[in-house]
Amino acid sequence: MPYKKPVIKKLYYTIGEVADIFEVNTSLIRFWEKEFDIIKPKKNKKGNRLFTEKDVDNFFIIYHLVKERGFTLQGAKDKLKDNPEDTINQIEIVKSLENVRSFLVDLKEQIRES
């Protein structure tokens, strides 16, 4: 799964940083922003998009539905509109399992080094 949680907590992420987190092009980030109304970036005076942590979490939901589970864009929109709580709960479970897996992999590497 290419989602890489940023180590440093920031108030705002640029479109390039968000694209790097998900290992996608910035054009896909702009496209998803237009297609999904749960993404609401702020724009500075120059018009650059600034995404909050909540926006990044919403991108994770969209990424999970479209790229990992194979939903169409319309299917992902419908899923988010019809049952957002269930979708968010499933995403939280996936994140928890990834954290546990990461911990176990780190632990395994530490044991091998000992």
Helix (H), strand (E), coil (C) string for 34-88? HHCCCCCCEECCCCCEEECHHHHHHHHHHHHHHHHCCCCHHHHHHHHHHCHHHHH
- Percent of the chain predicted with pLDDT > 70: 93
| Annotated domain spans of the chain | 13-113
Residue 19 predicted with pLDDT over 90: yes
Residue 24 predicted with pLDDT over 60: yes
Lowest-confidence range among 26-30, 31-35, 82-86, 110-114? 82-86
Cβ neighbours around 64 below 10 Å, total: 19
Which stretch of DSSP H or E encloses residue 13?
A: strand 13-14
| Whole-Å CA distances, 83 to 8, 68, 72, 87, 90 | 31, 18, 16, 6, 11
Q: Model pTM?
A: 0.74
Q: What is the pLDDT of residues 63-108, one digit of tens each?
A: 989 998 899 999 999 988 887 788 888 888 888 998 899 999 999 9
Average pLDDT over residues 27-49: 93
Burial 17-45 (b: 16+ CB within 10 A, else e): bbbebbebeeebbeebbeebebbebeeee
Q: How far apart are CA 80 and CA 45, in angstroms?
A: 31
Q: Does domain 13-113 have CATH number 1.10.1660.10?
A: yes
